[in-house]
Amino acid sequence: MIKTKITPNHTSTYIMNLWVKRTGQLLLAALFMMACEDENSLLGFKNPTSKFDVNFVEIPLESDVVLIDSVRTDNQSFDIRRLLIGKYIDPIFGEVTTTSFTQIRPDFPATIAVTSLYDSLVLEMQLDYYAYGATGKTQESFSIHEITEDSISYSLPIQPYYSNDKLGYGPSMGEVTYTLDYDSLKKQSGLSTPDTTFVVRIKLNEDTDFSTRLFDLIMFNVDDGFLDPSKFNYAIKGLALAPKDPSSGVVGFAVASTSKTQLTLHYHTPTDTLTRTFYLDGGSFVNIETNRTGDLNGLPLYESIQPINGLRYLQNGSPVITRVDLTSFYEHIEDIPNIIFNAAQIVIEEVEPPGVFTPPGSIRMRPIKETNLFYNQSKTEDSDLMRNYWLLADEQYYVVRNDLLTSGEIAWLTYNDGMYSTNITLFLQDLFSKKATDPKLRYLGLYSQNIGKTVSRVAFNENKIKLRLYYTVPSNQ
């Protein structure tokens, strides 16, 4: 722990700026005004003795690693609607494999003429510029299958689906191998409007039973099987998109109805060549499997561990989180009766550099129990405790808020130049005000953004997670 007393003469401008930024903190403003008044005596001379001390301390935080069973990967209510297809080998985490499952739904429910003749069925998948696990140009492959067991299509509204969910499916109805330039894709992903639209196109085998049944259903509508959505979903359970060799990475595909991802039926009549479109969107999810190797191989779920190599991890999809212990913070403030935090940061230094395994862009901090279960809003005991802290509701759980008093934004640990950092001044001030509370809010689970929509991961040293605190206390403390 590094502690420094900052003399007022050398830091008055810096602290004044920090105080001004803490608008809305009436107590802080009052202390600031008192400090300013104390700078000069009644004769106009500067008082050599300040009533307040400004200090800086850097506190290392203990941490451990926790494996979580699953995260939601469905596309019902999230900002990112994505399917992941592919596999790769990670030297830390093992082989990661992603398989996608999706409903299909007609663009509009209307039958086709009974004189129609089938031509082909083509699946088009638009890349959404997320790719992970490889670099340069690679060959990627996947196959298309019909879901055969009870599936997402039965449940209306659709139930949540998680990374460990999977469905049975039949033999391949078609497959594709395509070349992907990961470096080009990453450049496109940084643009608000990408210059190029990447679409992978697969023509289904001509003699598949799936094609025949779908065509007959839309043409003859037996027992209202096409026009009734529930009956349609019973007859056509959906598609599974499974990676196959060669595959060097995991690729993201857009499934919003505004994308070019769609299944197109081509057919003709004696007078016209026509098409009918089916979309892949909300009724879809991703199964993510990781064949663990290394430090994490065989470790039980929800058990805190400290890898012998001294590293801490975050992994999306097959989730691994880092749990941070705030005990050293409470020990530092235990015997301080009055304190005002002028600025407070949590930082993670010397993060592994970008490359094949680019670190996630941002990390959330979610309060977590000693049992490694997150505080749940639906449980009265949890909600009664958490509602009094500087937190935000996040789905069923909670996350640390940022320092913007007029905003409900999350305090994101943002990656920049090899380090994650964020300001949590008001959160720590809140913890100080409740330091006598029992039980204390003691642990934060760190997990990265879009944890169910990517397979991104990061590693960093256990000694590089720190709190940096600038705070003011009366001189006699």
Residues 265-322 pLDDT 10s: 999 999 999 999 999 988 899 999 999 988 899 899 999 999 999 999 999 999 999 9
- Which carries the bigger pLDDT value, residue 70 or residue 449? 70
Q: Which pLDDT band holds residue 441 (cuts at 50, 70, 90)?
A: very high
Residues 277, 318 within the same domain = no
In a domain, 434, yes or no: yes
C-alpha pair distances (Å), 433 with each of 55, 138, 146, 299, 336: 19, 55, 58, 38, 11
C-alpha distances in angstroms, 18 versus 32, 134, 430?
A: 11, 43, 17
| Residue 208 structural domain | 82-290
Residue that finishes a domain, picked among 290, 320, 339: 290
10 found inside a domain: no
Tell me, yes or no, whether 100 and 212 share the same domain.
yes
- Residue 221 and residue 134 in one domain: yes
pLDDT at 10: 39
Residues 137, 174, single domain; the answer is yes
Provide the angle, in degrees to the nearest 10, between the axes of the packed helices 8-21 and 26-38: 150
Q: Which of 240, 259, 290 is the last residue of a domain?
A: 290
* Higher-scoring residue by pLDDT: 387, 18: 387
Is residue 270 reached through a cis peptide bond, with omega within 30 degrees of 0 on the bond before it? no
Smallest Cα–Cα separation from 2: which of 47, 44, 55, 59? 59
Q: Residue 442 has which token pair?
A: 């003691």
The two structure tokens encoding residue 61: 């935080």
- Both 202 and 94 in a single domain? yes
- Higher-pLDDT residue of 326, 50: 326
Query: Whose CA is closest to 53, among 474, 336, 343?
Result: 474
pLDDT tens digits for range 185-215:
877 876 667 767 899 999 999 889 999 999 9
Query: What pLDDT was estimated at residue 258?
Result: 81
Q: Are residues 454 and 386 in the same domain?
A: yes
63 and 101 together in one domain:
no
Q: What is the pLDDT of residue 475?
A: 80
CB of 70 closer than 8 Å to CB of 163: yes
Q: Does 30 fall in a domain? A: no
Dist CA 52 CA 389 (whole Å) = 27
pLDDT tops 60 at residue 35: no
The mean per-residue pLDDT over the stretch 253-261 comes to 89
| Domain shared by 319 and 338, yes or no | yes
Determine the average pLDDT of the residues in 391-415.
87
Residue 292 pLDDT: 92
296 inside domain: no
Residues 425 and 373 in one domain: yes
Q: Does 48 map to a domain?
A: no
Instruction: Report whether pLDDT(15) > 90.
Output: no
pLDDT at 346 over 90: yes
Residue 313 lies in a domain: yes
Residue 18 has pLDDT above 70, yes or no: no
Q: What angle do CA 392, 398, 403 make, to 5 degrees?
A: 35
Residue 324 has pLDDT above 50, yes or no: yes
Query: Which residues neighbour 441 within 8 Å (Cβ) at sequence distance 6 or greater?
Result: 326, 367, 385, 386, 389, 431, 434
pLDDT, tens digit, 9 for 90 and up, residues 119-169: 999 999 999 989 999 999 999 999 999 999 877 765 556 688 999 999 999
Of the given ranges (155-164, 222-231, 352-361), which has the lowest mean pLDDT?
A: 155-164
Pair 120, 98 in one domain = yes
Q: Are residues 363 and 286 in the same domain?
A: no
Domain boundary pick from 233, 257, 290: 290
Cβ–Cβ < 8 Å for 176, 200: yes
Same-domain pairing of 268 and 341: no
Q: Report which of residues 219 and 43 the model is more confident about.
A: 219
Q: Does a structural domain hold residue 13?
A: no
How many domains does the chain divide into?
2
Predicted confidence band of residue 52 (pLDDT cuts 50, 70, 90)? confident
What length is written for the chain?
477
Structural domain contains residue 22: no
